[in-house]
């Protein structure tokens, strides 16, 4: 199934951005931005200058936020993994995307450290991105499972942080966002969240109401049942 086909970038723009990147090689020692990354920034930020500015901001953010130090054995990562706040699944969706699975019932907006939880989300994004076969597909599938969802699970600040991360530092990484087992009371929450999204991102959010529909995106059996 063709979902969100990748937009082509202008080859001259890509060539120009590559030349500009040579000026900051020392600021990108781990070569985080390969050709696929440059194309994503060009698609997201439209012009060479804006893409380059965004890359500079991402480089600074990655250093300041110490992204490379977020490891599976880091205390804040270990705590959230053990609490089943989210996980990157071993299996992929139907188009080969890595899958980040987020069970809402394990989250309480009134009992969390927003900074720690945001770092955990960054860890999950990093882990999933590293699993991409970029030559084939370089974006992700995020699944929000709203089974047993209650209003205490609704964390608007965390959602804002995720949107900001995806738009500023992981541009064009979201391939599809599946919302499953959505209760009626979530409709009011979605009305708020939708207002924060641009049209392109909104088109990637799919409410899935049946197992048959879910099978269009992934094999249901890959989703955890023990979280």
Domain count of the fold of the chain: 2
For the segment 181-204, the average pLDDT, to the nearest whole number, is: 96
pLDDT confidence band for 31 (50 / 70 / 90):
low
At residue 30, the pLDDT reads: 59
Query: What would the pLDDT profile of 55-101 be if each residue is shown by its tens digit?
Result: 999 999 999 999 999 999 999 999 999 999 999 999 999 999 999 99
Q: Which residue has the tokens 């209650």?
A: 150
DSSP state of 213: H
- Please check whether residue 227 lies inside any domain of the structure: no
Query: What would the pLDDT profile of 124-175 be if each residue is shown by its tens digit?
Result: 999 999 999 999 999 999 999 999 999 999 999 999 999 999 999 999 999 9
Domain, as residue range, for 205: 74-222
Residue-wise burial string across 98-132, b where 16 or more C-beta atoms lie within 10 A, e elsewhere: bbbbbbbbebebeebeeeebbbbbbbbbbbbbeeb
For the segment 202-226, the average pLDDT, to the nearest whole number, is: 96
Question: What is the phi/psi pair of residue 20, to 5°?
Answer: -65, -35
At residue 177, the pLDDT reads: 98
Tell me if residue 87 falls in helix, strand or coil.
strand
At residue 227, the pLDDT reads: 75
DSSP state of 32: -
Q: What is the CATH number of the domain that holds 207?
A: 3.40.525.10
- Ranges of beta strands (E only) in 85-187 are 87-92, 98-103, 140-145, 174-180
Q: What is the mean pLDDT of the chain?
A: 93
Q: Judge contact between 70 and 119, C-beta under 8 A.
A: yes
- Please check whether residue 5 lies inside any domain of the structure: no
Closest CA to 74 of 111, 126, 112, 144: 126
Q: Tokens standing for 77? A: 């990562």
pLDDT confidence band for 183 (50 / 70 / 90):
very high
**Do both 50 and 95 map to the same domain?**
no
- Tell me how many degrees the CA angle 215-218-223 measures, rounded to the nearest 5: 110
Q: Which residue has the tokens 């500079």?
A: 56
**Do both 129 and 191 map to the same domain?**
yes
Question: Given a cut of 50, is residue 2 above it in pLDDT?
Answer: no
What is the distance in angstroms between the CA of the first residue and the CA of the last residue of the chain? 29
């Amino acid at each position: 199934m063709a979902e969100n086909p990748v937009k082509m970038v202008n080859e001259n723009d890509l060539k120009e951005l590559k030349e500009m990147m040579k000026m900051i090689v020392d600021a990108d020692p781990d070569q985080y931005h390969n050709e696929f990354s440059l194309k994503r920034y060009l698609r997201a930020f439209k012009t060479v200058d804006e893409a380059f500015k965004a890359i500079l901001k991402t480089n600074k953010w990655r250093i300041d936020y110490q992204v490379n130090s977020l490891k599976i054995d880091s205390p804040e990562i270990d705590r959230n993994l053990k609490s089943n706040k989210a996980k990157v699944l071993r299996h992929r969706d139907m188009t080969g995307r890595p899958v980040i699975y987020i069970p809402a019932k394990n989250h309480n907006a009134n009992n969390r450290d927003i900074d720690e939880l945001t770092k955990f989300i960054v860890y999950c994004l990093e882990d999933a991105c590293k699993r991409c076969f970029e030559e084939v597909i370089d974006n992700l599938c995020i699944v929000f499972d709203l089974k047993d969802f209650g209003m205490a699970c609704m964390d608007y600040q965390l959602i804002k942080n995720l949107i900001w991360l995806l738009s500023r530092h992981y541009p064009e990484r979201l391939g599809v966002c599946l919302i499953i087992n959505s209760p009626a009371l979530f409709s009011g929450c979605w009305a708020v969240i939708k207002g924060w999204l641009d049209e392109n991102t909104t088109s990637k959010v799919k409410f899935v109401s049946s197992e048959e529909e879910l099978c269009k995106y992934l094999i249901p059996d890959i989703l955890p049942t023990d979280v």
